[in-house]
Structure 1
Amino acid sequence: MPGPSSSKNSAYIRFLNLIDVLDRINPGKKLDATEESLLNKIVLSAHQGQVMLVGDLISLAEFGSQATLHGRLKNLRAMGLIEMNADEDGRKKHVVPTKLAIKRYEELSKCLEKAVRAG
């Protein structure tokens, strides 16, 4: 079994290295695991044409408590990665990814494609 210094790294290891380089090129607040999971869920829902509500997101117990999730959504909004738009009566807030969030996933896709091609 090859060790960590093996010259034949898996595509996923190459991908992680490329993400690390990307993070250093574009410094800013790095997303924690909970923020990353929430943003993934928001982007996937938007891509599938589904409406994602704040209430839906803060009820995802597998990601943390409601207070934790509400705080992470506020962080994502402060970083410019999501927008929260109230519906007609103002009782429900729809969560949508911003252009900045979409650009982030495009950059991640490029890293993944490059890692796979390098194999």
Structure 2
Amino acid sequence: MEKHSPSADIYVRFLQLAHALRGLPTLDPLEDRILAFVALAGKAKDRLSVRDMMAQSELGSPAMLHARLKSMREKGWIILTDTDDTRRKQVELSQAAWLHFDKLSKCLMQATQDVNN
């Protein structure tokens, strides 16, 4: 059996706990990256419009991104809010997505406690 660090044990335990979470419909890997991008922008208090998202070439083509944003909205992960310009929509995490992050945070804290005990 290979030896690994205690921090690797913590991360694996976190993955186990996070995998057991139920709630919103699952995201594919790209949607997960988009969710993280929106969360980081929100945390930094940056305004993030749909147009801003389309400019993020590392997230894919504008057409594909638009489809993913629509899917994530239908799944309940993000919301689009109005701005001063009615043609522009602001991308934000839904309350359910923030609650999901709260649950993941608790999983991380529990994983740390489980391995240290």
Structure 1 residue 104 and structure 2 residue 100: aligned? yes
SS of structure 1 residue aligned to 2:31: helix
The CA distance in 1 between the partners of 2:45 and 2:84, in whole Å, is: 19
Alignment of 1:1-119 (within 5 A): 2=2, 10-22=9-21, 26=22, 29-119=25-115
Report runs of 4+ in structure 1 exceeding 2 Å deviation. Answer: none
- State the shift of 1:27 in Å: 5.6
The CA distance in 1 between the partners of 2:53 and 2:113, in whole Å, is: 35
Matched positions, count: 113
Amino acid in structure 1 at the alignment position of 2:88: K
The CA distance in 1 between the partners of 2:33 and 2:81, in whole Å, is: 20
CA RMSD of aligned residues (A): 2.1
Over residues 25-83 of structure 1, what are the superposed CA-to-partner deviations in whole Å (9 max), with x where a residue is unaligned?
x2653101111111111112112211111111122111211111111111111111211
TM-score normalised to the size of structure 1?
0.84
Shift in alpha-carbon separation, 1:85–1:105, aligned structure 2, 3 A: same
Where does structure 1 lack aligned partners over 5 or more consecutive residues?
A: 4-8
Amino acid in structure 1 at the alignment position of 2:48: M
Where does structure 2 lack aligned partners over 5 or more consecutive residues?
A: none
Alignment identity in percent?
33
The CA distance in 1 between the partners of 2:30 and 2:63, in whole Å, is: 12
Shift in alpha-carbon separation, 1:101–1:13, aligned structure 2, 3 A: same
The CA distance in 1 between the partners of 2:89 and 2:47, in whole Å, is: 10
TM-score normalised to the size of structure 2?
0.85
Contact map agreement 2:24 2:75 (CA 8 A) in 1:
no
